[in-house]
Amino acid sequence: MEYRNLGKAGVKVSPICLGTMMFGGQTSEADSIRMIHQASDLGVNFIDTANMYNAGESEVVTGKGIADRRDKVVLATKGRQKMGDGPNEQGGSRAHLMKALDDSLKRLGTDYVDIYYYHAPDFSTPIDETLRALDDMVRSGRVHYIACSNFRAWRIMEALWASDRLGLDSFACVQPLYNIFNRDIEVEVLPTCREYGLGVVSYSPLAR
């Protein structure tokens, strides 16, 4: 297996990342764990989940699948999306993201995640507040690298500038939609990532 740096970060990941959106839902727990183990045995060390996938069940199943090989896995999960009906059960606020991370760690059965994605922009919350919360996650040791998903180039740049201005940890990678039917990121997002050394972990490469 070939391994490469995640953008300019030091951590090395396989070029194939195992996505787990269907785990704990359409894909049974037994099949999910079998897939995790087979991918791991073939050298895939990069696994991606999210708190919203099947209302948290994907994280539960993923946690079980990596329990005996946690230190060999670069584990990514995400927070920001709606996880309940309350006014603070979604979004980019410190209140929501801190609780979302705590809940994800419990479901995954681990005390840290390697990559924590801010799953989508929240235009009702200042980016400074979100970045300060993410920086505190890194400083606490519960997150190794922070990242973003579904960001346009201008929003990526706003976050990078804010991190630099405030002396905060900055995004190591981005996760955009990218496949033969949707190549929008080639216009601005990919050049931005190339210029600033951000890793690109595209989702839905086979257009579902």
Q: Could you list the active site residues?
A: 53
Taken as a whole, the chain contains a residue count of 208
- Of the candidates 183, 146, 184, 188, the residue with the CA atom closest to the CA atom of residue 168: 146
What are the distances in angstroms from CA 45 to CA 18, 56, 86, 117, 196?
8, 22, 36, 18, 25
- What residues contact residue 201 under an 8 Å CB cut-off, 6+ apart? 6, 17, 48, 76, 147, 173, 174, 175
Report the distance separating Cα 191 and Cα 172, nearest Å.
15
